[in-house]
């Protein structure tokens, strides 16, 4: 099984088979417009511009399951991202990443690369506290711990890395660059 076995909906509700991205390096991200990590859109877009011609795509999946930080419609979210951050990478329909209604793609991604922690220090401890409170209701189906969790997928559709929102975006960029060389 690979990410190419999944079908998702674009922001207009059209079915998209992820096999359309076969042969590309992917960064799959659950996002939110009202999150403290929303500024990640800026380095994500910079990465997209830098690497797109080398076969790189970012797949953006808005999610409102973390403190209601993505309350808008698909069109409102898209407008916010394009106006404020100039994003050009594909944005899909708003989804759930946890619980019984989780998009199967995200359950798969998180099973392939499970959560290993946010890091250490006060900022990380606070995020862990908020994450734990938020995810209690999902039990063993709390696949994703917070907004802007990123999964790196190789050209064969295999999940090769997971980056929590606390990961340094330069480390994410370096991992993408290395994967593109393969």
Active site residues: 35
On the 0-12 / 13-18 / 19+ scale of CB atoms within 10 A, 107 is middle
Q: Which residue has the tokens 């862990």?
A: 128
- Selection from 118, 136, 96, 105 nearest residue 1 by Cα: 105
> From the CA atom positions of the chain, what is the Rg in Å?
15
Q: Tokens for 167?
A: 């990961």
């Amino acid at each position: 099984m690979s990410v190419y076995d999944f079908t998702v909906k674009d922001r207009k509700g059209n079915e998209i088979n992820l096999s359309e991205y076969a042969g590309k390096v992917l960064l799959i991200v659950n996002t939110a417009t009202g999150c403290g990590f929303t500024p990640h859109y800026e380095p994500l877009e910079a990465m997209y511009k830098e690497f797109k011609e080398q076969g790189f795509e970012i797949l953006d999946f808005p999610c409102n399951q973390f403190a209601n930080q993505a309350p808008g419609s698909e069109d409102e979210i898209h407008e916010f991202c394009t106006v404020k951050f100039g994003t050009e990478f594909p944005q899909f329909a708003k989804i759930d990443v946890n619980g019984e209604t989780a998009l199967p793609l995200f359950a798969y991604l998180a099973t392939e690369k499970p959560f290993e922690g946010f890091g250490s220090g006060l900022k990380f401890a606070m995020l862990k506290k908020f994450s734990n409170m938020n995810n209690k209701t999902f039990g063993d189906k709390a696949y994703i711990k917070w907004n802007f969790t990123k999964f790196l997928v190789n050209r064969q559709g295999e999940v090769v890395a997971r980056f929590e929102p606390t990961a340094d975006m330069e480390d994410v960029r370096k991992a993408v660059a290395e994967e593109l060389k393969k």
